[in-house]
């Protein structure tokens, strides 16, 4: 009863109640909460300390940031309190700002995950270099929300974008529509077993998608199967890492790959002239990437 009484008293503060409601919707870090609630960082940290002290929220370290999230479920006697907070009128417009923030976060994540963009000039350089390529039939394995798909469609003859997740594939379609890109075919399929014909495509791009699949060698065999002789593969992946939170939050099945081991799998799958390029670690990021390219025998 004492714990319940303390929780009621703690949530008597309107700002604290707003923070709890936001954390009930999505994990957020201090900077994000400051931008949403509009109070000083010291004040937000103070409120978070109170909520954490009552075991209403928990904190988790992810990629260099501390994220806070709700630590109460339906079995907790304080759950009705949380429900009341969620159902209260959003007079300050917190939830609308949260939706915008989550959309921006998703776009940044897709950009970092798929392109590892060092700056906006990346797009200009990519388009300039791509204009030198012949028109190719390209397949994007694990297209996600379509950031890379749309960029490739600007120079490719046609792009076939594949993802097993219907929701992100719909986002990719919406992105292509917004950019008025018409030369993309979207397929919701398992990368281990594709319906695409043999020896039809010029280029397969696998940009940080292999760590999401159950059996990477099988996916690389599919890539070899659909490529014309002399067709190419471009594969970007993560080095081995210890960030286990990506498995639950981002759906990663593998915590990176040893580059030489993946190079060997490519060669065993039917590729020759396999070249490996590594990338330096990006600042405080725990992730480091490498690039493999090869030619279909």
Cβ-contact 213, 253 below 8 angstroms: yes
Residues whose CB is less than 8 angstroms from the CB of residue 123 and which lie 6 or more positions away in sequence, other chains included: 117, 151
Per mean pLDDT, which of 59-68, 76-85, 98-107, 265-274 is the most reliable? 265-274
How confident is the model at residue 4, as a pLDDT? 55
Tell me: do 184 and 100 sit in the same domain.
Answer: no
pTM over 0.75: no
Tell me: do 104 and 42 sit in the same domain.
Answer: yes
Question: How much is the average pLDDT of 18-38?
Answer: 87
How many beta carbons lie within 10 A of that of residue 2, not counting itself?
6
Q: Which DSSP letter does residue 118 get? A: S
Tell me: do 153 and 106 sit in the same domain.
Answer: no
Tell me: do 73 and 105 sit in the same domain.
Answer: yes
Per mean pLDDT, which of 78-87, 263-272, 283-292 is the most reliable? 263-272
Q: How confident is the model at residue 225 (pLDDT cuts 50, 70, 90)?
A: very high
- Of 83, 110, 137, the residue at which a domain comes to its end is 110
pLDDT at 112 over 60: no
Residue 75, domain extent: 2-110
The structural domain count of the chain equals 2
- Of 78, 110, 142, the residue at which a domain comes to its end is 110
Q: Please give the residue that has the higher pLDDT: either 44 or 126.
A: 44
By CB atoms closer than 10 A (0-12, 13-18, 19+), residue 246 is: buried
Tell me: do 224 and 131 sit in the same domain.
Answer: yes
- Of 49, 79, 110, the residue at which a domain comes to its end is 110
- What's the CATH code of the domain at 93? 1.10.10.10
Q: What is the pLDDT of residues 271-297, one digit of tens each?
A: 999 999 987 665 556 788 899 999 999
């Amino acid at each position: 009863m004492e714990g319940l009484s303390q929780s009621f008293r703690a949530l008597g503060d309107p700002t604290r109640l707003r923070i709890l409601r936001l954390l009930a919707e999505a994990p957020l870090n201090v900077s994000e909460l400051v931008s949403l609630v509009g109070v000083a960082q010291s004040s937000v940290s103070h409120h978070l300390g109170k909520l954490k002290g009552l075991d209403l929220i928990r904190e988790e370290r992810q990629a260099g940031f501390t994220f806070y999230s709700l630590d109460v479920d339906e079995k907790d006697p304080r759950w009705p309190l949380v429900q009341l907070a969620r159902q209260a009128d959003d007079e300050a417009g917190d939830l609308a700002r949260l939706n915008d923030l989550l959309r921006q976060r998703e776009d940044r994540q897709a950009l970092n995950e798929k392109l590892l963009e060092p700056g906006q000039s990346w797009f200009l350089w990519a388009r300039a270099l791509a204009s030198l390529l012949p028109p190719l039939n390209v397949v994007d394995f694990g297209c996600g929300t379509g950031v890379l798909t749309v960029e490739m469609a600007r120079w490719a003859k046609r792009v076939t974008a594949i993802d097993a997740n219907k929701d992100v594939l719909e986002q990719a379609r919406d992105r292509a529509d917004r950019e008025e890109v018409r030369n993309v075919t979207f397929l919701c399929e398992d990368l281990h077993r594709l319906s695409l014909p043999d020896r039809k495509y010029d280029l397969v791009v696998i940009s940080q998608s292999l760590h999401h699949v159950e059996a990477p060698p099988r996916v690389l065999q599919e890539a070899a199967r659909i490529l014309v002789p002399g067709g190419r593969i471009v594969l970007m992946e993560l080095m081995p890492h210890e960030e286990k939170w990506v498995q639950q939050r981002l759906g990663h099945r593998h915590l990176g790959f040893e580059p030489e081991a993946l190079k060997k799998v490519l060669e065993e799958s039917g590729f020759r002239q396999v070249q490996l390029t590594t990338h330096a670690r990006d600042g405080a990021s725990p992730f480091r990437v490498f690039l493999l390219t090869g030619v279909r025998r």
